[in-house]
Amino acid sequence: MRESTLMQMQYVTAVLAVLLVGVHLLMQGVLVPYGEAVSFQRVLSVYRDAVDGALLEILLVVVLAHGFNGLRTILIEWRQTPSWTRGVNWAVLVAALATMAYGTRTVILAATGQVS
């Protein structure tokens, strides 16, 4: 993938993350009182709502893509050998996909009532 494509993704995910984290924080303490927002049943109900659950999944993917790409940028600036750069690219891709898969699994389990 071209570096400009990755940077484009970085800019888009940054904007989306600001919006989605903003909505998330509103729901976690402004529109809904904090103590109520983090209660177990309330959290489960958020996952089970189609729109809120979808927003959580999008937030997960956006933040992970942005964060791991940022980590990749830091690491490839740290050392400059081709093998290091190649290794970092693959390691970060695998780590990002694994974390996304684990997070998505949690969203699916909670949304489908397999957590109670």
Here's the x/- map for other proteins, 51-80, by CB under 8 A: it reads as ----------------------x--xx--x
38 vs 4: CA distance, rounded Å = 39
Which of 9, 16, 55, 85 touches other proteins by CB under 8 A?
85
Query: How many residues contact other proteins, by CB under 8 A?
Result: 11
**Amino acid letter, residue 101:** A
Secondary structure element (H or E) that encloses residue 110, with its range: helix 82-111
> Minimal distance in Å, beta carbon 75 to other proteins?
11
> Counting contacts by CB under 8 A, is residue 3 touching other proteins?
yes
> Counting contacts by CB under 8 A, is residue 4 touching other proteins?
yes
| Distance of alpha carbon 86 from the chain centroid | 24
- In the chain, what's the furthest Cα-to-Cα distance? 51
